[in-house]
Structure 1
Amino acid sequence: MKKILALLLMIPLLLGIITPPVHAKPLIDASAAVMVDASTGQVIYEQNAHKKLPIASISKLLTAVVIMDEVHSKQITGDTKVKVDSGIAAISNDPQYSVIGLQEGNAYTVRELLNASLVKSADGAALALAAAAGDSLDEFNMKLQQKAQEIGLKDYTIVNPVGLTNGDLKTLSIKQYSDQAENAMTATDVAILARYLVNHYPQLLQVTAQKQASFMITKGKAKTEKNLNEMLPGSKYTVPGVTIDGLKTGTSDTAGACFVSTGNYRGHRIITVVLHANGKNKDNRFIQTQRLYRMLKQDGHLQTITLPKDIRQQAVANGQTRQATISPQAVTVWNTGGQLHKYTLAVKMKEKYLNKTGQLEAPLHRNETVGELDLSSSQLKTLDGGPLTYKLLSTDNVVRGNFWQRLWH
């Protein structure tokens, strides 16, 4: 993230009364759950959200993020081919795992393997992705751990890119781990990971939104697989008014049935996490996710914050005009009753737009992100414990002035 310089602007405001935004009672039938606003990071609901639990194939979200990093840095492309060895083929064709049937000696593109990993949750495909940039499984695992730390995960264990136990990987197991070792995270960390994915690589939602996808396993032979997400539009567990387009299921003996969803409700991208839904019915993860969205529809109210003029109007140096209008697209918070009582606002501008005295400097372009607005309140909670953040945009074009204009301004 670009370095930003804080302007000294803290404004206390009083507006009424709010009830706590995070429910106190365990209303979700699962070991842990959390619901957040993907844009601001506001926690809308949480339950045992800091309890570390096995996550099974939810692990593939972290794998997808690292692969997208490698694509972004031009180490690989979507068309990079990965040749499948005997170890990966053995996992990919073992019926006790999530299989896609990759064949030993065949090569598959990164794009195909990402599709198989995120739609079918194919274990062999995730293992093959680890080798896309020429890494060993151990080396790719180090990348996963580094990425987890970089994006701010706090309490996690990363053993492999799949979510199986180390012993389940057979000949591919990593020697430093026991056979029982497996990936684990808190619901909060899973939400941080999902938020990072949807904000940095939203194009992956085009993959996870597919109700089914076709995979070319051998030349001339395609296989069509159904998405395991039963909350996509038109599926069994859809919620009216909420458009789900992701994200990932996870299932194992120790993790139970898990599900991370993301979707749009009232113009806001929401993320939910349900870890180890109780009972033998795997669909309970979708039922509990439904419950989260229904709670949001029933109890969640959006409060719009009106910004003071001294935030919206900022002085500009060396421009044809002396001021620019700065505004976020919208400043809203979720609450479950009443109005937000007390909060502070802080404006932070990106250093590249400031002169040596800390003032905005022309030129500025309309709809350019010039900084952020931070909203803090003891009555609100975020994933990382920091303030709610909103992008600040320049709503004006401010042209750099000529010599005389700059002299007198």
Structure 2
Amino acid sequence: MRNIRNKVFSSMLIFVLLVTFFNINTLEVSASRIDTEAESAILVDGDTGEILFAKNADVKLPPASMVKMMSEYLVLEAIDEGRISWDTTTQISDYAYTISADVVSSGIGLTQSKDYTVHQLYEGMAIISDNATTIALAELIAGSEGEFVRMMNAKAEEMGLPDAHFVNSTGLPNELLGENYPEGTSPTDDNLLSARSLALLAYHLVNDYPEALDFSSTITSELDGHILENLNWMLPWDNTNFAPYYFEGIDGLKTGFTTAAGYSFTGTSTRDGRRLISVVMRTDSRGARFQETKRLMEYGYGEFNEQELFPAGYQLEDQESIAVSRGREDIVEVELSEALSAMVRIGEEDAYSIQYHIDEEKLNENGELIAPIEEGEKIGTVELVYEGNANYGNILADKEGQVVDLVTTTSVDKANWFMITMGAIGDFFSGIFSSVVDTVTGWFS
């Protein structure tokens, strides 16, 4: 009997150890799926701005050439507003020429006394991250790089980029610009942005001016006999050395490197109509920034699905209707004007609820809607509420959660004077009756 008990005990112990082992390994695998070696990182849904993952995302770091995303935005805005066109030409200033002649700070040797189109210069800036072409565009748009920097910081404030600080158009530390550092800055200044700010900047760039992706996804081009090779190794290159970094659907966006910044990358990709935006800052090598981006992208597409959580016409249980004052009907039903959808982590489908926010200006002192009421009239909003364990928020400051209109399902006409009068009389006698009942009850209490 003792041997049997020992065998049973041993079997149970082995079972518990095996279960514990597999559970621990499962947790480790799950955790590693969102781990990153980058010092700072963020992953964002490119349509809603919802943050799917964040690590030290508010730490301000030198972004290096990722600064050029703002320069690109201002060039595209100038084209959109008709201030310049793709065919507008400009020549290279002494400052831009000096930068272009330095192989450390630029990849193209530009020629002075020659006309370059905006399209040519933009390709140099966007494809190979060239600094001289960026400066030339900044000077064309604003007259000087110093004035362009003021435009950059003004646009950053308009976009709501938290704590963004631009000191030049290129992302180089000012100390590398010699005496050419932009007016209004100091020779020791450097650009500073957080991963959150960079993600929001990328969000505005790809949503406001999607044509930027045509350039960021171009693998090679040519300028003045120089081959422009994209610095993004995640694109579909023929180069087998880049094969480990390829990611299906990647179409941008901007690399960055300085000694202070390390190797960084703002990436974006689209699959099945879903766009993701990621930022990794301060990785150890050129390849590491793409490997970490790939890890985040795989996590985003593998762990999240866009789902319709509450369809249009949905009615919250026990809140299907609202009382109506002075109407032919005493209540009116309400519903969602449109569907509420979100990027939902697998297994968290039940972690979402909705909350009504009724417009108080449409209610009387008793909390009733006042007739007449139109069918489909907006009487408030419906907010999607996430109640899970990994709420990173939204990069859009004014969009803590998704919101749609709360509308009425039918119209309610205003009651005529006779019905209103009879209702008032009924309320009067009802009030008297209630008072009498309360008084009599008090005698016997």
TM-score range, shorter chain: 0.7 to 0.9
Q: Is the 8 A contact 1:230 1:237 kept in 2?
A: no
Q: Is the 8 A contact 1:131 1:137 kept in 2?
A: yes
Return the structure number with greater relative CO, CA threshold 8 A, min gap 6: 1
Worse-matched range after superposition: 25-34 or 100-109 = 25-34
- Match in the other structure for 1:293: 297
Give the strand-richer structure, 1 or 2: 1
Say if 2:174 is the partner of 1:166: yes
Deviations 1:278-331 (A, max 9, x none): x3x2211001111112223443344331324158xxxxxxxxxxxxx9646x82
Q: Larger Rg: 1 or 2? A: 2
Residue type at the aligned position of 1:81 = T
Say if 2:376 is the partner of 1:334: no
**Structure 1 residues 23 and 158, CA gap change in structure 2 (3 angstroms):** farther
- Match in the other structure for 2:396: 384
Say if 2:203 is the partner of 1:195: yes
Q: Distance in 2 between matches of 1:36 and 1:202?
A: 17
**Structure 1 residues 297 and 25, CA gap change in structure 2 (3 angstroms):** closer
The number of aligned residues is 338
Cα RMSD after superposing both structures: 3.3
Aligned partner (choices 89, 92, 110) of residue 102 of structure 1: 110
- Calculate the TM-score normalised by the size of structure 1: 0.74
Summarize the alignment of residues 50-69 of structure 1 with structure 2, pairs less than 5 Å apart: 50-69=58-77
Deviations 1:29-79 (A, max 9, x none): 111000000100010111000100000000000001011111111111111
What is the Cα deviation at residue 358 of structure 1?
A: 9.9
- Match in the other structure for 1:71: 79
SS, match of residue 30 in structure 1: coil
SS, match of residue 354 in structure 2: strand
Say if 2:344 is the partner of 1:309: no
**Structure 1 residues 225 and 37, CA gap change in structure 2 (3 angstroms):** same
Q: Is the 8 A contact 1:211 1:227 kept in 2?
A: yes
What is the Cα deviation at residue 100 of structure 1?
A: 1.3
What is the Cα deviation at residue 175 of structure 1?
A: 4.7
What is the Cα deviation at residue 105 of structure 1?
A: 2.0
- Match in the other structure for 2:269: 263
Q: Distance in 1 between matches of 2:404 and 2:86?
A: 30
Worse-matched range after superposition: 200-209 or 94-103 = 94-103
Residue type at the aligned position of 1:227 = N
What is the Cα deviation at residue 391 of structure 1?
A: 9.1
What is the Cα deviation at residue 223 of structure 1?
A: 2.1
- Calculate the TM-score normalised by the size of structure 2: 0.68
SS, match of residue 269 in structure 1: strand
Residue type at the aligned position of 1:110 = V
Q: Is the 8 A contact 2:261 2:281 kept in 1?
A: yes
- Match in the other structure for 1:16: none
What is the Cα deviation at residue 155 of structure 1?
A: 1.2
- Aligned-residue sequence identity (percent) comes to 27
**Structure 1 residues 75 and 358, CA gap change in structure 2 (3 angstroms):** farther
Say if 2:378 is the partner of 1:375: no
Q: Distance in 2 between matches of 1:239 and 1:306?
A: 36
Q: Distance in 2 between matches of 1:206 and 1:307?
A: 35
Give the helix-richer structure, 1 or 2: 2
Residue type at the aligned position of 2:400 = P
Q: Distance in 1 between matches of 2:46 and 2:62?
A: 23
